[in-house]
């Protein structure tokens, strides 16, 4: 039996910003495409991030494929936690937890997603480490862009 084409991720990040400041920045959805070059065609259904909101967009990692995704917020507990289901070319679930850490915050991000596109599933079977590498570069770019956006605390 072959392994399912799944990427699981869990990592903690430290920020000098308070949980409330981070939450406020995360809510600036209209700036996401400016901060993160791998994200295009982003649309938010609803006027803010809250339970039931849906984000739709295209993820373009540093590999030759594009993924259309839909992120449905299934739980939103400002300024501490978001939970989401992911649909489209990726299927899975994700969460983001923000914890106070001294004068700053510790942010834990986790997700498990299965690649649904046929070519991606085949590529994963043949070169999972390369796909994991592309995924990890996108996450690094995301965190670096968010840190730059936040500036000094």
Domain residues for the domain of 73 are 6-150
Residue at 1 is within a domain: no
Q: What digits encode the pLDDT tens for the residues 49-64?
A: 999 999 999 988 766 7
**Domain of 135: which CATH number?**
3.30.530.20
Query: For the chain, how many structural domains are there in total?
Result: 1
Residue at 23 is within a domain: yes
Residue at 140 is within a domain: yes
Residue at 86 is within a domain: yes
State the pTM of this model. Answer: 0.89
Between CA 24 and CA 3 the distance in angstroms is 39
The 3-state DSSP class for residue 66 equals coil
Q: What digits encode the pLDDT tens for the residues 77-89?
A: 999 999 999 999 9
């Amino acid at each position: 039996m072959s392994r399912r084409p799944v990427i699981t991720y869990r990592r903690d990040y430290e920020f000098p910003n308070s949980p409330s400041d981070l939450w406020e920045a995360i809510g600036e959805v209209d700036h996401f495409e400016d901060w993160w070059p791998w994200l295009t065609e982003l649309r938010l259904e609803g006027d803010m991030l809250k339970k039931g909101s849906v984000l739709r967009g295209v993820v373009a990692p540093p590999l030759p494929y594009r993924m259309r995704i839909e992120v449905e917020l299934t739980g939103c507990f400002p300024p501490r936690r978001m939970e989401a289901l992911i649909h489209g070319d990726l299927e899975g679930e994700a969460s983001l937890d923000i914890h106070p850490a001294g004068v700053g915050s510790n942010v834990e991000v986790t997700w498990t997603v299965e690649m649904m596109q046929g070519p991606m599933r085949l590529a994963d079977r043949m070169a999972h480490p390369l796909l994991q590498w592309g995924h990890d570069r996108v996450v690094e770019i995301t965190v670096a862009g968010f840190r730059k956006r936040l500036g000094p605390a």
